[in-house]
Chains A and B, each alone.
Chain A
Amino acid sequence: MIETVRFWAIIVLIVFGLFFTFVSAVGVLRLPDVYARAHTASQTDTLGAGLALAAVALALGWQNATAYTVLLLFFVFITNPTAAHAIARSAAESGIVPWENDTDEEGESR
């Protein structure tokens, strides 16, 4: 019983992790400028990575390696936004002007 619950929990976590990473990949490819890409590249991806790592931690059960995974999770959640901020800041300071939606019409964005 408890094994089945754990199994499905792992499956759900992995599927959502893959979904958010997929969104992040699509965002990195589709969005118009570096600031917009930083949104998905570093945050949607952080959630995707977090869910996948949570799945790993759940699968490993109660052992020393799980502590590693939790540490890794914590670390990814702290460092990713910091790195994204550093990159966006460096983009701002090298004078990259953010892309803006001139038409103001939904549907026409590129």
Chain B
Amino acid sequence: MTAELINEVFLAAAALFVVLAIMMFYRAVAGPTTQDRLLAVNVLGTNTVVILALLAAGLDEPWFLDIALIYALLNFLMAIAISKFTVERGGVL
């Protein structure tokens, strides 16, 4: 019984995280600077990782965690690459 309840809790938490992600999305759209948008997208990425992990637990699909791991790696690389790109005017890495 508790197992099912826990799954419900995880799904509800994932839904709430999606709501928070939508709130942050405002900053990605509004800017005003490139760095603001980048920051918002980076936070959205972290949230996506958390949502994926919660879904993995809630739906009992452990392979979602693989995707979450790759997503976290890509999210980090994206933040680094774009912040480097905006500073060095195209001379990336």
Direct contact of A and B (CB under 8 A): yes
- Knowing A25-B20, A79-B72, the reply to whether A90 touches B50 (Cβ < 8 A) is no
A-B contacts counted at CB < 8 A amount to 153
**A-facing mask of B27-56, CB < 8 A → 1, else 0?**
100000111101110110011011001101
- A68, closest chain B residue (CB): B65
Number of interface residues of B (CB under 8 A): 45
Which residues of chain A from 70 to 110 have any CB-CB distance to chain B below 8 Å in the complex? 71-72, 75-76, 79-80, 82-84, 86-91, 93-94, 96
CA distance A28 to B13 in the complex (A): 20
| B42–A21 touching, CB < 8 Å | no
- A88, closest chain B residue (CB): B35
Among B24, B33, B36, B43: residue with most chain A CB under 10 A:
B43
Q: Which residues of B contact A11 (CB under 8 A)?
A: 9
- Knowing A18-B16, A29-B27, A86-B79, the reply to whether A96 touches B5 (Cβ < 8 A) is no
CA distance A5 to B49 in the complex (A): 26
